[in-house]
Amino acid sequence: MRVRGFLLLPTIALSALNVSCPRPASEPAATSPAPAPASAVTAPASAAEPPLAAPSPSLAGPATAADPAGPAAPPGVSAAMDATASATTDPAADLAAPGVDPLALPVLPPQLVDDGSDELPRLDPPPTAPLTPKEEVHELASIARETWIFAEPRWTSRRIGYLRAGAVVARRPEPSGRESCAGGWYRIEPSGYVCIGASATLNIHDLAVEASSRRAIRRFFAQAASPAPSAPRGEAAAPRAELASLDLRGEAAPAAPHARLGALPAAADAAPAALPAAADATPAALPAAPDAAPAALAAAPEAELAAWLNGLPYTYVMSRSPTPPLYARLPSEDEQRAAEPDLGAHLLRAATAARAPDFVAPPPPDATPSVLLYGRPAPGLAGDRRSPDALVLGRARTRSGFALLSTFDHDGRRFGLTTDLTVLPLDRTRVIRPSAFSGLRLAEDVALPVAFAKRRHATRLVPGERGGLTRAPLRFREALPLSGASRRVGGIDHLEARDGSLVRADDVVRVDPLPRAPAWAVRGRKWIDVSINQQSLVAYEGSRPVYVTLVSTGADGLGDPKTTRSTIQGLFRIHTKHVTVTMDGDEEDEDPFDFRDVPFVQYFTEGFAFHAAYWHDEFGTPRSHGCVNLAPLDAAWLFEWTTPEVPAAWHGALSLRKGTLVSIRP
């Protein structure tokens, strides 16, 4: 698996960094695709390539040192960055040698010690909040997939993070310099500098900013960063009593349009009051207090959306076959029939599918995005090359996943606006119902061992009303804190839970405390322990476990990560975090895929990362291409707990020396 179109970290000198879940060495090397929309779609085979419009001078003028055409750096700088990168190696590469027990190391290796090299220079004070409502607010906005944030106001400085299109951040009123940046380098909140030019603008009302204004939901961010989420610009949070008449953005739900084009039945578009409880839901396992959202958050529409998404940052859909066209604008009925020759038969099949028991309805419709009204095309992000007359930008690839900024009705069909600002018909996709599984957050009085039920029809023994023991159901993957004691009942070994119940030892995965904490696990230091054999993850603060869950590591178990789909072993640091990032494989692969906006990605060495998986629900079983897959709720929690921290408006953050330690072992 690779991250498409994402240039990562040349300025902090990681030569071996492949931003992907790795592929076996025998497979063809990944190549960078053409700029979007080619990076997002495959052009229709039957259609001639549309003419490309000249880029807007205000967004992507000629590549000059004063205004580089692209989010990275001006000509000449990239070559220097690459030369610097090639002269160094991954700092944790020699810690991944076979046979190295990361827990037995007496001290941290020098390459993992925080030597202060990641400290940010203090050149300018941060932006200040206005003292009065009438005082001007100074902000800038991202208009690209990646708007890089630099430690200092120059292209050759190291990158410390990036913004995603639609992000608006506070800035200082005046630029801190204009070195190779005609628009000026601005100090932003909470740190770093952004160049105003091809990927960022001072016009926070730019169409690309407006179209991308809905931000990714970070369910656990508010707990760690602020007591309450900020209301939308110029609006107040809606009271919970009013949510029934509001759409998911807090706006009045529009009246349903006149049904045309064989619209789906009403049931297909109606979002359930609540998602049906999944068979593996473990609400009892999660303590209410630690994970409870603040009261102010519960009153906001985002809380309803976060609950519906079950930890995912967006609504996600997967393409069906044949794959959906990706429109540049809302098509008329005639244009839909021309672009989708099978439309009539397809809508009949979609109506039948909507009546299936496992059908997942999309969320309630939003208002049509204003940028799409009156037949206007969706604005392209910086670097996109779209013809103003283009209707179809291409078709989704096989086994594609998309994140949606909004869904809305048009001519009797439901459409979605993707994070790449393309429009796709949702009846050619299936809405993702994310896994309801989550691990167990360990309070001060709850520690390991913890057991997870690994059989779907497991039971446990509880005291009966008339004495003796009786059987009670045990949900699949339900977490049970254990007392540490065991008993034989009927000749079968049972483990005793803290509540006094008994569970068969062969029905559960048991996660035990470590015999002894690593010498380097000093008090308060955060670190993560992953066991490939047990498919478990435990988050520690010093020697105290604070979270335990099940994961999916590489499908090939303990194999060679260079030649098989196995997870690398060793001791590492998380160095790069993305709220979401796209991962894909080559069409020639035996398992081609194109997953947009994979949530809560945390790279720790080469192409290996923790991330949520919205396309499967097999946590506890080896499954991945080499990364460590987590359920969405687990990934969302872990993302906010680890370092480097990703500030509220940022989409990614980078640090070589301050990231959370990661131990991966058999």
What pLDDT, in 10s, does the model give residues 381-400? 988 888 888 999 999 988 89
* pLDDT over 90 (residue 202): yes
Q: Is residue 256 predicted with pLDDT exceeding 50?
A: no
Is the CB of residue 60 less than 8 Å from the CB of residue 69?
yes
What confidence score (pLDDT) does residue 93 get? 52
Handedness of CA 117, 186, 599, 544 (dihedral sign): positive
Average pLDDT of the chain, as a whole number:
78
pLDDT exceeds cutoff 80 at 2 = no
Closest CA to 401 of 584, 261, 564: 584
Query: Quick one: which of 371, 382, 327, 372 has its CA closest to 55?
Result: 382
627 is catalytic: yes
Q: HSE-up of 33 (CA within 13 Å, CB side)?
A: 23
611 catalytically annotated? yes
The SS3 assignment for 462 reads strand
Question: Of 494, 625, 627, 651, which one is the catalytic site residue?
Answer: 627
Q: Tokens at residue 92, please?
A: 């944790």
Cα–Cα distance, 73 to 81 (Å, whole number): 9
pLDDT band at 57 (very low <50, low <70, confident <90, very high): very low
* Structure confidence by residue, pLDDT tens digits, 474-496: 999 999 999 999 999 999 999 99
Buried b (16+ CB within 10 A) or exposed e, 573-600: bbbbbbbbbbbbbeeeeeeebbbbbbbb
Strand 502-504 versus strand 492-497 pairing type = antiparallel
**Domain segments of the chain as ranges:** 221-431, 453-508
State the average pLDDT over residues 389-413: 94
Question: Percentage of residues in the chain with pLDDT exceeding 70?
Answer: 71
Do 565 and 602 contact (CB within 8 A), yes or no? no
* DSSP 8-state secondary structure symbol assigned to residue 377: P
Output the six-digit token pair for 266.
């009403």
Rg (CA), the chain: 25
From the candidates 410, 578, 611, 625, which is the catalytic residue?
Answer: 611
For residue 465, the tally of other CB atoms under 10 A from its CB is 6
- Which helix (H) or strand (E) segment holds residue 602: the answer is strand 594-605
Name the residue with higher pLDDT: 240 or 162.
Answer: 162
pLDDT of 614-643, one tens digit each?
Answer: 999 999 999 999 999 999 999 999 999 999
d(CA 312, CA 293): 15
**pLDDT at residue number 239:** 33
pLDDT at 445: 83
pLDDT of residue 240: 30
